[in-house]
Amino acid sequence: MKARILVLNGPNLNLLGVRQPEVYGEYSYADVVDVCHRAAAARGAEAEVRQTNDEAELLEWIHDVVRDKNFSAIVINPAAWTHTSVALADALVIPEVPVIEVHLSNVHAREAFRHHSYVSPVASGVIAGFGIAGYGYAVDRAVDLS
């Protein structure tokens, strides 16, 4: 059975390349999507990539994984919700699929409030600080865990 990876992206990631390129890089969101699709295809898998600035929409996408049982793993860059959302952490355990947390920047080398993640304790792994290449690593690992 072909692995299907759901790649979720939180707030402001739609502005990659525009928002703080010195922190997040000069790549666009379209480049992130491309990296995910290429990484999945290289492993004979599929990746569906989504982004939202609405936390409720993100939670519904996670709930859909439970209802539809159509994805074998989740890769997520929760962005700011990493540090604020207990609801997101609670939702991520419901589908009972591997979860890989990914961040473009090294959150541990940044402001102190970014050092805490509500997602990390429910994730199978965390990849941070490798720019958009981190998405490729995350999709690859998600396929292994599927």
Catalytic residue among 27, 103, 108, 118: 103
b/e per residue 102-115 (b: at least 16 CB within 10 A): bbbbebeeeeeebe
- Residue 105 known to bind ligand: yes
Establish whether 24 is a catalytic residue.
yes
Active site residue: 24, 63, 115, 118, which one? 24
pLDDT at 117: 87
Check whether 145 is labelled as a binding-site residue: no
Residue boundaries of the structural domains of the chain? 4-145
The CATH code for residues 4-145 is 3.40.50.9100
Q: Is 83 annotated as a binding residue?
A: yes
Residues 120/70/87/124 CA torsion (nearest 10 deg)? -10
User: Is 12 annotated as a binding-site member?
Assistant: no
Q: What is the pTM of this model?
A: 0.89
Query: CA angle, corner 114, sides to 59 and 36, nearest 5?
Result: 55
77 known member of a binding site:
yes
> Over the stretch 15-61, which tens digit does the pLDDT of each residue have?
877 776 666 667 889 999 999 999 999 999 999 999 999 999 999 99
Q: pLDDT by residue (tens digit) across 70-125? A: 899 999 999 889 978 999 999 999 999 999 999 987 777 566 766 688 898 999 99
Query: Is 37 part of the annotated catalytic residue set?
Result: no
CA torsion angle 16 46 5 131 (round to 10): -30
